[in-house]
Structure 1
Amino acid sequence: MRRHIANCFTLLNLVFGCLAVIQILQGVAGLSGGHEDAVERMQTASMFICLAAVVDFLDGLIARLLAASSEMGKQLDSLADLVSFGLAPGLILYEFLQISFAATRGVSVNYWYLLPALLIPCAGAYRLARFNLGTGFSTEFEGLPIPAGGILIASFPLIYLSSSFNAVQRLLQLPVFWYALIFIVSFLMVSTLPMMSLKFKNLSFVQNWPKFLLFVLAVICGLILHWLAVPVVFLVYTLLSLILIRKS
């Protein structure tokens, strides 16, 4: 029974991921109100992805508290994560590529230009499969966790609609920006670079100062930059991970 409680939260993660996919598909540019309508639907999809991230955190926490971890739960969690943080963010990038080409060229482009967005779910699937095959315990992640990449991508529809910085708006209309984002996130997921785990084993400041720093930075940036804080904190997280790895 305890095992099923955690699995229900995992399935709720999957439900939110499916709802995000439905929102994006309903907002295909040019079919239902044009690009602005597509971005608004992606904004709703982003909120579903954020809810999926909250539930994804809770299912692991509940499984540990109830001592109900299982191989079944591990596999189910990976399948849910692939939809919520792989497929749904990949479709968001597919849409943004389409919108950016329309903004810069004024015309729709062949879908071959949009297919690189599918690298995100492919890289996510590879990352999850490698994680499930791992047998050793480590305090670090091997490669970027797929939820982190998914949340980063999910922040951009919210940034697109809420940011008042003209430079940010212009940047988000450049196809090269989206191609660069796809490459960086996909590379980090499939790489074997150790990435810092955000789980606290204790409250020692000496052992956990990078995590405390990230938390304080996230709060400050959130108050000042709002949704733009997500890519800023992500960048700092990546740099901190690489610096700490090099020092160790």
Structure 2
Amino acid sequence: MNEQPSKIYLLPNLMTAGNLFCGFTATLRILEGALLQSTNADLAADRFHEAIWFVLGAFVFDFLDGRLARLGGHESPFGREFDSLADIVSFGLAPAAKHNAANHQNTFTGFPIPAAAGLIASITLFLLWLAEGEHHLGNWRFVLPPLLLFLSFMMFSRFQYPSFKAVNWKTKKSIPRFLIIILVLIFTVLNYEWMPAVLFLAYLLYGVLRSWLSREWRREIEEEIGEEIG
């Protein structure tokens, strides 16, 4: 039997291209900042700020591409490989390859690498906000090194994290869920200095606690299609 030719769909792959662009641009900004540190510390700090926003932008694009593909029924082998390439550039090599090889479509085994990158970027943004404002960094300045080690373990752990790629938007709960998402987004934009870090930390903690929750609670939170009722 002849195999169907792989199709390339525009909108999901545009999101993946946005992920790739943000990751590449963030890398350039970091390199520019590193080169400028000894001659122009203020400009170097600006470059690092820009890199943080590009990493967060890459996370948003990575979040959207798979969901748009599934909503339109436009998943393709090319899209999956293109998404993996973008993840390599934006978030790192080994964890991206690990998650690409995972068999589960609706969950990740281990903390997803885009979420780990988003957590590091959002915590860095929070620390910069503390340092530049009338706040005192205190012990917060020691957070990143142990957090990086902890995330390295979590990315290769056996904890299950929902991908939210199969959320059912055709139920009676769709409108309330959509309104909640809009309110959270508005609140996050208004409190962009610290709210992204709270969201990423909540996701990190959820994976640790997920196995302790009943199947009904998990279904209520994740609303995944096709999950068996035990």
Using the size of structure 2 for normalisation, the TM-score is: 0.71
Give the number of the structure whose residues are more often helix, by fraction. Answer: 1
Map 1:45-84 → 2, pairs under 5 A: 45-84=51-90
Map 1:91-102 → 2, pairs under 5 A: none
Please say if 1:247 is aligned against 2:213.
Answer: yes
Instruction: Pick one of 100, 109, 132 that aligns with 1:142.
Output: 109
Instruction: Pick one of 132, 145, 164 that aligns with 1:198.
Output: 164
Map 1:86-165 → 2, pairs under 5 A: 86=92, 125-137=93-105, 139-163=106-130, 164=133
Quick check: 19-28 or 142-151, which moved more? 142-151
Give the structure 1 partner of residue 225 of structure 2.
none
- Native 8 Å contact 1:218 1:229 kept in 2: no
Give the structure 2 partner of residue 7 of structure 1.
13
Going from structure 1 to structure 2, the CA distance change for 1:143 and 1:215 (only over 3 Å counts) comes to: farther
Give the CA deviation at 1:213. Answer: 8.4
Going from structure 1 to structure 2, the CA distance change for 1:9 and 1:162 (only over 3 Å counts) comes to: same
Please say if 1:233 is aligned against 2:175.
Answer: no
Task: List gaps (5 residues or longer) in structure 2.
Answer: 1-5, 215-230
- Taking the aligned partners of 2:198 and 2:103, their CA distance within structure 1 comes to 33
- Taking the aligned partners of 1:212 and 1:195, their CA distance within structure 2 comes to 23
Give the structure 1 partner of residue 226 of structure 2.
none
Please say if 1:30 is aligned against 2:31.
Answer: no
- Taking the aligned partners of 2:118 and 2:19, their CA distance within structure 1 comes to 13
Going from structure 1 to structure 2, the CA distance change for 1:9 and 1:244 (only over 3 Å counts) comes to: closer
Aligned sequence identity (%):
31
The alignment partner of 2:194 has SS state of helix
- Taking the aligned partners of 2:181 and 2:108, their CA distance within structure 1 comes to 16
Give the structure 2 partner of residue 189 of structure 1.
155
Aligned CA RMSD, in angstroms, stands at: 3.2
- Taking the aligned partners of 1:198 and 1:165, their CA distance within structure 2 comes to 38
The alignment partner of 1:226 has SS state of coil
- Taking the aligned partners of 2:82 and 2:15, their CA distance within structure 1 comes to 11
- Native 8 Å contact 2:107 2:162 kept in 1: yes
Please say if 1:18 is aligned against 2:29.
Answer: no
Give the structure 2 partner of residue 106 of structure 1.
none
- Residues 42-74 of structure 1 show CA distances to partners (whole Å, capped at 9, x for unaligned) of 111122222222322332233224432122221
Q: How many residues align?
A: 201
- Taking the aligned partners of 1:2 and 1:214, their CA distance within structure 2 comes to 32
Paired amino acid for 1:243: L
Give the CA deviation at 1:218. Answer: 6.9
Paired amino acid for 1:3: I
